[in-house]
Structure 1
Amino acid sequence: MAVKIFFPTCCSAAESGLLIGRWISEHRSAVVLAMLHVPFIPGQVKQYLAHLQQSTGLSLSVLGSWSHKKAEKDEKIESFLYDLSSIFSHRPWLRLSREASSKFWDCSIERCDGGDQEEVVLVYYDERKLMLSELHSVTENSEIASVFATVAKCRPLFAKHKYDEGPIKLTHWQSDGVEASIIVELIKQFSVPLCAVLSFLVSVLTSLRTLRVLGGKPLSFVWNKLSTSEQLGKRLENIGLVSSTERAKDHKEFMRKANTVVSILLDMALGVLLMSWLYRENQISQLADTLMPVADRVAVELQELLQWLMGAPAGLKMNGALDEVLGRFYMYHIHLWTSYIRLMSPFIEVILWYIGLSACLGLSIALSILSDIIALLTFHIPVYCFYVYGARLYCFKMHGLSSLWRLFRGKKWNVLRHRVDSCSYDLDQLFLGTLLFTVLLFLLPTTALYYLVFTLLRLLVVLVQGLIQLIVNLLNTLPLYTVVLRLCRPHRLVICFLAGVKFRMLEQKTGKSLRLLMQINPLPYNGVLQSYMLPSNQCYPKDSWGSLCRKLFIGELIYPWRQKGNKQD
């Protein structure tokens, strides 16, 4: 069985010394962590290793010697290191050496239990990437898992700088972020009272939402249908998660908090930018002055559309009486809508001003308010009323035709058992059914045409609201912190052992050790989005295309919202 030696690439240029690391006997592997340089006292080295074993919980020891031959005087140091093998009686004893002109190192093993001659596989690894990666968080009894766990638990060893004064001189990976760590600690100290204040405010607002006055039947129905209320609840939940004083239990929970913080900050930054644009150069007044001509133009276009439908649209022969009734009925609703718009016109600028002011809470809040305003405006206009009237009338005729069609075939719908059963009808029932079927069939084209036209208009409004909610959902669920981390430090996002590590062959020659380079294989971007996407409280219907076409064909209403807890059709 071959002996595998994991050697850090940061120590390849170190001076001659001893190898500090861990021997994993069950896998016959040696993990080199640092280089110990001369001069030193063996007793102090043993005390230092005993202190590291207590702080890390690992059996660290002197694994062997490292000889970097740059000059002739290094031969004396090499002989000195050879004599130290009797003091540090580790089995096996590793001897690594490198000539000044050589690219790779030579390795030999002494005092090995498996015999005098052992095959050696030298694996180079980056200590920094293994230290910062999350691969060690997975509990798995494998050789790679043991290597990652060894490097991850040796933070006290890496805290000692190679330039620190003391009897022990080490070379290993050392983070260069002392000033940054001080700033981080100051931010942590400042965030404690801030999180306490935020937690108190969230608890107060949550208790206000649960009052019986606000939880009554009319108000609860309205709150469940408003996108603004849903988004405010989502933001309260996010602030409560961020301001929690509990420490993150695992990597997933930490990344969720970090992504939530970045999502809130980005949302508020975009909202402030929107607010600054609205209040610059009197943009709100210009928008308010533009809305009235647009509303009048929409009313004129709808009247022209109804007049076209009341005639002979596309040369189709319509039922004159039903066409006249439907046209006048819809014309009256257009008159009501124009009167409603005229009544609201003095308050449009004030409403837009408050919408712009609400953007300081975040772009998602402003977009949710915009979606609710579109829903309220289109509730009174024919785009919604016409669709509901036409859909109900069309659905009534479709259900009537389907029931009468079963009558001709001698069948009926069993309401109790929810199935179609056989049934015998007399002559009067068949005659009356034939008469009703004929009337409904000849009136169906007129109703279907009105239903088709206003369904298309309704779907256009639903599409606009859907795009707004899609942007809000992206702001709430997109893991921006993780995406940036994947772009800047991809080695931090490694979870799976099978796909998280890859090996590249550096040299393979007969009679020499096999040399490999262990590299971190980070998660792809689609895996990052799937693994770290924030939870969404989206309660909108997610019907399939087949279900949507079926609803449109039989005349069922297509709502842009669905109450929480409702089952999908």
Structure 2
Amino acid sequence: MVLKVFFPACCSSADSGLLVGRWMSAQSSAVVLAVLHFPFIPVQVKQYLGELQRLTKVSVTVLGSWSNSKQEKEQGLSEFLEDLGTIFSHEPWIQISKEGDSKFWSCSTLQKQPKEEEIILVYYDQRKVMLSHLHPPLDTADGKAEDTSKLSAIFDTVARSRALFMTDKYDEGPIKLTHWQSEGVEASIIVELLKQGSVPACMLLAFLLSLLSGICRSRVLNFWPLSFLWSKLSTCEQLGHRLQHLQVISSHRKAQTQTQLMRKANIFVSLLIDVALGILLMSWLYRKNRIGHLADALIPVADHVAEELQDLLQWLMGAPAGLKMNRALDQVLGRFFLYHIHLWISYIHLMSPFIEMILWYVGLSACLGLTVALCILSDIIALLTFHIYCFYVYGARLYCLKIYGLSSLWRLFRGKKWNVLRQRVDSCSYDLDQLFIGTLLFTILLFLLPTTALYYLVFTLLRLLVVVVQGLIHLLVDLIDSLPFYSLLLRLCRSYRLAAGVKFRVLEQQDGKPLRLLMQINPLSYGAVVQTYRLPTYSCYPKDSWASLCKKLFLGELIYPWKHKGEKQD
């Protein structure tokens, strides 16, 4: 049988006394939490431990004795410590004492029924273990799950004994303890002031957010076109997402678990970083009249884009790459799209006197966060390229109509038809007139298909270029919204707070003596931190596979590969 004694390294220089901790019989382990010093009254010690058990729900008892030979001044102190085992009855009674000039300590046990057992003395950093949050491994093998449960019991014992660590040796009272906070309870005036001031601030913020959320849920915003704009504009989606984050932060409900606490901290730090980046962007925009320069450059850029599109359409209306096109359909489509370009550039020139003022007010929205500014940029790109979207929709609908018409007429030649009710292809007999009309329509659609397909291909490529730009912007927004900045900073500065397990280093191993180990914390990897504490976002990645997207492009179906509106990621 192996007896494991977990001893805090901070108590190595403590005065002689009693070992206070928890005994875990299922694991044959003892976790020492503190050293209780003389003088004390046994009845008061039992009362104190009883109150501590009711407060922490941890069965804290006296495990044994601690003898520091360098500080031992009275004869027979070791024998007296052994005799205390009759008052604080515990089986086994653990004795830890100084071993001559060695820097390590000897450990032995006293039992009514002597047993041959091996003792392992494990030193651990009490502060790090108390502040750490042990994460289960990604794989759930039986052996690793059992080891993790044993470690969790140790970490949980130290973490739940926080009330024991609130008493230091300078407090006036009948109990004198040595633990990781023996020199005084750590405190910060700034932290205490922030705690006191955060309560009324959170109450005020919660009240304002409740009013704002009530306005957002009012019936006025449910009418068209406000409801349409709220569901389609990325800026409205992002503002609603940040509003939910503010409600989570300002909630008066206390976090029940470590995961909820980390989520609140990650949201708070994410908001701070987002707003800080937005303020930096706003200060850069309003410095040296960059807003005016941007407004002045917008109209020439729009004219240049219009000229390039007109040249492209003129090229398509000729003989592009030497292809033989249907002259009549080519001219109709080209003039139709040229007219749309003329309408779009007229609209831009009509709005030119107000562009600088619009950009000036849009720049102020950066104070709400960099993500809001990026969403506004995405919406502006969508509005400025609305004509390209219209071209893509017109070309896709016309091309899709021809594809489905050709597929239906091809089934007619094979004596088949599509059964709408049963959603399948059935056999069907056609007369001579139906076959003649079908052959005529099939020939017309087949010879008009290259002209339509060319326009569809060109405008699809232009649309995909715009979608890729918007997709990169939304990926950046999702990255800022979802990254757990607080957890990453905690992993960088206090890596022991996010524990993935422990490792043991052998300090001394000699025959006939207890094995001495040092328990060190293995921190979570950065990838595991992001995977564990990643925040949910309102955007989602494409659900369709690459094969499905290529099939939709070939059939002329409309695609939105970067974002699905109205859906949230769990």
Instruction: Provide TM-score, normalisation by structure 1.
Output: 0.91
SS in 2 for 1:102: coil
Selected match of 2:181 from 147, 154, 174: 174
CA contact (8 A) 1:41 1:167 kept: yes
* Residue 131 (structure 1) aligns with: 130
Describe how 1:16-95 pairs up with structure 2 within 5 A.
16-40=16-40, 42=42, 44-70=44-70, 77-95=77-95
Bigger drift between 178-187 and 334-343 goes to 178-187
Tell me: CA distance 1:554–1:357, structure 2 relative to 1, closer, same or farther (3 Å): same
CA contact (8 A) 1:20 1:33 kept: yes
Bigger drift between 39-48 and 278-287 goes to 39-48
Describe how 1:150-161 pairs up with structure 2 within 5 A.
150-161=157-168
* Residue 407 (structure 1) aligns with: 412
Tell me: CA distance 1:540–1:226, structure 2 relative to 1, closer, same or farther (3 Å): farther
CA contact (8 A) 1:70 1:99 kept: no
1:350 aligns with 2:349: no
SS in 1 for 2:181: coil
C-alpha distance in structure 2 between counterparts of 1:217 and 1:540, whole Å: 28
SS in 1 for 2:535: coil
Tell me: CA distance 1:537–1:71, structure 2 relative to 1, closer, same or farther (3 Å): closer
* Residue 444 (structure 1) aligns with: 449
C-alpha distance in structure 1 between counterparts of 2:238 and 2:169, whole Å: 52
C-alpha distance in structure 1 between counterparts of 2:72 and 2:215, whole Å: 81
C-alpha deviation, 1:88, in angstroms: 4.0
The residue type equivalent to 1:18 in the other structure is L
Tell me: CA distance 1:523–1:423, structure 2 relative to 1, closer, same or farther (3 Å): same
Describe how 1:415-494 pairs up with structure 2 within 5 A.
415-494=420-499
* Residue 376 (structure 1) aligns with: 383
Tell me: CA distance 1:9–1:74, structure 2 relative to 1, closer, same or farther (3 Å): farther
Cα deviation 1:118-154 (Å, max 9, x = unaligned): 2212222221122112339999995433322321222
C-alpha deviation, 1:423, in angstroms: 0.9
SS in 2 for 1:155: coil
CA contact (8 A) 2:168 2:185 kept: no
CA contact (8 A) 1:136 1:149 kept: no
CA contact (8 A) 2:537 2:568 kept: no
SS in 2 for 1:282: helix
CA contact (8 A) 2:121 2:515 kept: yes
C-alpha deviation, 1:224, in angstroms: 0.7
The residue type equivalent to 1:273 in the other structure is L
Selected match of 1:336 from 322, 343, 348: 343
C-alpha distance in structure 2 between counterparts of 1:292 and 1:136, whole Å: 56
C-alpha distance in structure 2 between counterparts of 1:460 and 1:181, whole Å: 54
CA contact (8 A) 1:70 1:100 kept: no
Bigger drift between 515-524 and 73-82 goes to 73-82
* Residue 230 (structure 1) aligns with: 237
* Residue 526 (structure 1) aligns with: 527
C-alpha distance in structure 2 between counterparts of 1:175 and 1:277, whole Å: 51
C-alpha deviation, 1:525, in angstroms: 2.1
CA contact (8 A) 2:399 2:556 kept: yes
C-alpha distance in structure 1 between counterparts of 2:183 and 2:365, whole Å: 43
CA contact (8 A) 1:136 1:152 kept: no
SS in 2 for 1:521: strand
The residue type equivalent to 1:337 in the other structure is W
SS in 1 for 2:288: coil
SS in 2 for 1:311: coil
C-alpha distance in structure 2 between counterparts of 1:470 and 1:137, whole Å: 30
* Residue 564 (structure 1) aligns with: 566
C-alpha deviation, 1:286, in angstroms: 0.8
CA contact (8 A) 1:162 1:171 kept: yes
5+ residue gaps, structure 1: none
C-alpha deviation, 1:411, in angstroms: 0.7
C-alpha distance in structure 2 between counterparts of 1:100 and 1:531, whole Å: 48
C-alpha distance in structure 2 between counterparts of 1:303 and 1:159, whole Å: 77
C-alpha distance in structure 1 between counterparts of 2:364 and 2:183, whole Å: 44
Bigger drift between 273-282 and 24-33 goes to 24-33
C-alpha deviation, 1:359, in angstroms: 0.9
SS in 2 for 1:213: helix
CA contact (8 A) 2:203 2:250 kept: yes
SS in 1 for 2:537: coil
1:286 aligns with 2:293: yes
Bigger drift between 384-393 and 502-511 goes to 502-511
C-alpha distance in structure 2 between counterparts of 1:355 and 1:179, whole Å: 47
Describe how 1:156-305 pairs up with structure 2 within 5 A.
156-164=163-171, 166-174=173-181, 180-305=187-312
SS in 1 for 2:221: coil
CA contact (8 A) 1:93 1:109 kept: yes
After TM superposition, the runs of 4+ consecutive aligned structure 1 residues lying more than 6 A away are: 136-141
CA contact (8 A) 1:209 1:215 kept: no
Cα deviation 1:198-225 (Å, max 9, x = unaligned): 2222222222222323211332122211
Tell me: CA distance 1:459–1:118, structure 2 relative to 1, closer, same or farther (3 Å): same
* Residue 511 (structure 2) aligns with: 510
Bigger drift between 401-410 and 96-105 goes to 96-105
C-alpha deviation, 1:44, in angstroms: 4.9
The residue type equivalent to 1:356 in the other structure is G
C-alpha distance in structure 2 between counterparts of 1:390 and 1:213, whole Å: 37
The residue type equivalent to 2:443 in the other structure is T
C-alpha deviation, 1:349, in angstroms: 0.5
CA contact (8 A) 1:68 1:99 kept: no
* Residue 141 (structure 2) aligns with: none
Tell me: CA distance 1:322–1:37, structure 2 relative to 1, closer, same or farther (3 Å): same
Bigger drift between 104-113 and 152-161 goes to 104-113
C-alpha deviation, 1:60, in angstroms: 2.8
C-alpha distance in structure 1 between counterparts of 2:211 and 2:347, whole Å: 38
C-alpha distance in structure 2 between counterparts of 1:41 and 1:565, whole Å: 65
C-alpha distance in structure 1 between counterparts of 2:360 and 2:78, whole Å: 80
Pairwise CA RMSD: 2.8
The residue type equivalent to 1:487 in the other structure is L
The residue type equivalent to 2:81 in the other structure is L
Cα deviation 1:233-286 (Å, max 9, x = unaligned): 112111111111111122222111111111111111111111111111111001
1:537 aligns with 2:544: no
Tell me: CA distance 1:75–1:546, structure 2 relative to 1, closer, same or farther (3 Å): farther
SS in 1 for 2:385: helix
C-alpha distance in structure 2 between counterparts of 1:289 and 1:16, whole Å: 81
C-alpha deviation, 1:87, in angstroms: 4.7
C-alpha deviation, 1:72, in angstroms: 8.8
C-alpha distance in structure 2 between counterparts of 1:37 and 1:235, whole Å: 53
Tell me: CA distance 1:504–1:72, structure 2 relative to 1, closer, same or farther (3 Å): closer
CA contact (8 A) 2:23 2:29 kept: yes
Bigger drift between 179-188 and 402-411 goes to 179-188
The residue type equivalent to 2:67 in the other structure is S
5+ residue gaps, structure 2: 138-144
CA contact (8 A) 2:319 2:325 kept: yes
